[in-house]
């Protein structure tokens, strides 16, 4: 029987703060960059909640409104341009009145927001169908996995936006638990599934072994690949943690069919636990992927420092090393292994690429397995070995006339970095 969730918004849980922190640290630079395109931005919080928790902590709607305010305050757009520059929408099924009251606490901006009472799936197309040619960002932190309908996402993409991004909370272990139930297998004795009650779902997905439940999970996953993963788990070929990783990997591969760039941050609920859900960012542009990769890596660094100083427990899945992610069994991906992955990625690329394009593509293929500093070090060594050439424009510094060493492109500073493969 589902838990009583009447106190869902009483206190903001630590794992909820992690999700909103990731959102907050991305939105301000996102808005600032996209405002420079002089094309409208449509921001949608698809499961907005009350906007504020009863303990006084901000929810995602107030966080987004503060990011909008900060971005507009530093914008060079005039007042008329700002009137329609950003259109925030907040969809909420159960707490619209509380949300409206709490949004009155948000700083004013030269535009208007709209609270929509109802379900995400019933309203999102009405919002977005009139947004052709605009920049769209969806924050999808659902109350349960059943709202993640891949067919609905495909319909949304058909509206032809200028840019499109989603930050999705994917409860991967919750999905796999439901998948096992549909296929009449009980995973409850597996330690991988024993602390899922900590990950509260306000509206849990109800499944059984009926064809209807199979269809629901297939629609969420974007395919029936999940069945083979459950069978391998049932037969003892993989354990619960491997199963979750296989499911998450397959889900990301499905997203990559429609979105060139997909990043995944596994998040754990408690110290020493395996990851229990994933924050997944999808986008169509290397700049967006690079920006989110920077954000995710910084969040990991900050949380690690908090752990060392006796602060909050780190809830991101990473080991204490230069590398950021470990495999299912906990072994570290070595620098030499990462170097081989870099070589393979560059070999598979058919042409020269900019540094940001390289980073976005590499992380999309391999995950956030190391910091960017390691990638830069590996590229430098590969240049010394004659495998690549790092072309920088301008090639020399203006003041000292030394060889340039910057990595980031900057149109305002006239800088450009190109990675060129020299060996087959």
Q: Omega into 394 within 30° of 0, i.e. cis?
A: yes
**pLDDT band, very low/low/confident/very high, at 268 (cuts 50, 70, 90):** low
Q: Give the distance from CA 253 to its chain's centroid.
A: 14
Say which range, 221-230, 238-247, 325-334, 363-372, has the weakest mean pLDDT.
Answer: 325-334
Q: Give the distance from CA 17 to its chain's centroid.
A: 15
Q: In 3D, which of 112, 111, 109 has the Cα closest to residue 100?
A: 112
Q: What is the mean pLDDT of residues 221-241?
A: 94
pLDDT at 314: 41
Instruction: Determine contact, residues 102/50, Cβ cutoff 8 Å.
Output: yes
pLDDT digit string (tens) for 375-415? 999 999 999 999 999 999 999 988 888 999 999 988 778 89
pLDDT at 313: 39
For the chain, which domains are there? 14-308 (3.40.50), 335-421 (1.10.10)
**pLDDT band, very low/low/confident/very high, at 198 (cuts 50, 70, 90):** low
Helices then strands (H, E): number in the chain?
14, 10
Instruction: Determine contact, residues 115/100, Cβ cutoff 8 Å.
Output: yes
Q: In 3D, which of 327, 302, 408 has the Cα closest to residue 24?
A: 302
Q: In 3D, which of 378, 235, 363 has the Cα closest to residue 294?
A: 363
Q: In 3D, which of 184, 172, 324, 333 has the Cα closest to residue 240?
A: 172
Q: Give the distance from CA 103 to its chain's centroid.
A: 25
pLDDT at 270: 57
Phi, psi of 80 (to 5 degrees): -65, -40
pLDDT at 329: 37
218's tokens: 């297939």
Q: What is the mean pLDDT of residues 352-372?
A: 95
| Number of CB atoms found within 10 A of residue 394's CB | 12
297's tokens: 């890596």
Tell me the β-bridge partners of 277: 267
Instruction: Determine contact, residues 182/212, Cβ cutoff 8 Å.
Output: no
378's tokens: 């590996």
Kind plus residue range of the DSSP H or E element containing 423: none
Instruction: Determine contact, residues 287/260, Cβ cutoff 8 Å.
Output: no
397's tokens: 């510094």
Q: What is the 8-class DSSP label of residue 402?
A: P
pLDDT at 138: 98
Q: In 3D, which of 319, 321, 320, 339 has the Cα closest to residue 329?
A: 319
pLDDT digit string (tens) for 291-322? 999 999 987 765 544 433 444 434 444 433 33
377's tokens: 């070090």
pLDDT digit string (tens) for 185-194? 888 777 777 6
Q: What is the mean pLDDT of residues 329-347?
A: 85
Q: In 3D, which of 212, 210, 245 has the Cα closest to residue 226?
A: 245
In this predicted structure, the answer to whether residue 70 has a pLDDT above a threshold of 80 is yes
Q: In 3D, which of 86, 89, 84, 226 has the Cα closest to residue 145?
A: 226
Quick check: helix, strand or coil at residue 203? coil
Rounded to whole angstroms, the Cα distance separating 116 from 93 reads 8
Instruction: Determine contact, residues 141/60, Cβ cutoff 8 Å.
Output: yes
Q: In 3D, which of 153, 135, 359, 404 has the Cα closest to residue 261?
A: 359
pLDDT at 320: 32
Tell me the β-bridge partners of 87: 42
Q: In 3D, which of 202, 325, 333 has the Cα closest to residue 274?
A: 325
């Amino acid at each position: 029987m589902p838990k009583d969730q009447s106190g869902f918004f009483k206190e903001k849980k630590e794992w909820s703060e992690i999700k909103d922190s990731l959102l907050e640290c991305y939105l301000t630079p996102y808005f600032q960059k996209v405002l420079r395109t002089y094309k409208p931005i449509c921001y949608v919080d698809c499961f907005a909640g009350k906007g504020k928790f009863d303990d006084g902590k901000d929810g995602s709607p107030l966080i987004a409104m503060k990011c909008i305010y900060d971005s507009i305050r530093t914008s060079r757009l005039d007042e008329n341009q700002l009137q329609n520059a950003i259109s925030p929408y907040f969809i909420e099924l159960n707490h619209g009145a509380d949300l409206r009251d709490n949004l009155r606490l948000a700083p004013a901006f030269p535009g208007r927001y709209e609270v929509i009472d109802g379900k995400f799936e019933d309203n999102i197309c009405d919002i977005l169908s009139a947004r052709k040619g605009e920049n769209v960002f969806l924050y999808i932190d659902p109350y349960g996995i059943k709202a993640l309908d891949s067919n609905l996402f495909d319909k949304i993409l058909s509206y032809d936006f200028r840019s499109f991004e989603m930050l999705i909370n994917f409860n991967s272990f919750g999905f796999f638990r439901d998948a096992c139930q549909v296929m009449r297998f009980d995973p409850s004795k597996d330690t991988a599934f024993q602390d899922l009650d900590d990950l509260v779902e306000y509206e849990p997905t109800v499944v059984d072994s009926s064809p209807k439940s199979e269809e629901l999970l297939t629609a969420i996953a974007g395919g029936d690949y999940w069945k083979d993963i459950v069978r391998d788990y049932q037969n003892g070929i993989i354990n619960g943690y491997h199963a979750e990783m296989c499911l998450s990997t397959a889900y990301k591969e499905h997203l990559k069919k429609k979105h060139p760039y997909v990043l995944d941050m596994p998040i754990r609920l408690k110290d020493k636990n395996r990851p229990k859900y994933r924050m997944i960012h999808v986008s169509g542009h290397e700049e967006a992927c690079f920006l989110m990769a920077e954000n995710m890596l910084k969040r990991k660094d900050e949380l690690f420092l908090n752990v060392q100083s006796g602060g909050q427990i780190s809830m991101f899945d990473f080991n204490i090393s230069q590398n950021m992610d470990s495999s299912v069994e906990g072994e570290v991906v070595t620098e030499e292994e990462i170097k081989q992955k870099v070589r393979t990625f560059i070999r598979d690329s058919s042409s020269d690429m900019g540094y940001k394009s390289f980073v976005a593509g590499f992380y999309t293929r391999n995950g956030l397995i190391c910091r960017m500093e390691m990638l830069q070090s590996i590229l430098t060594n590969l240049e010394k070995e004659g495998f690549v050439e790092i072309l920088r424009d301008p090639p020399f510094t203006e003041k000292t006339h030394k060889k340039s060493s910057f990595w980031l492109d900057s149109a305002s500073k006239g800088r450009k970095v190109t990675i060129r493969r020299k060996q087959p």
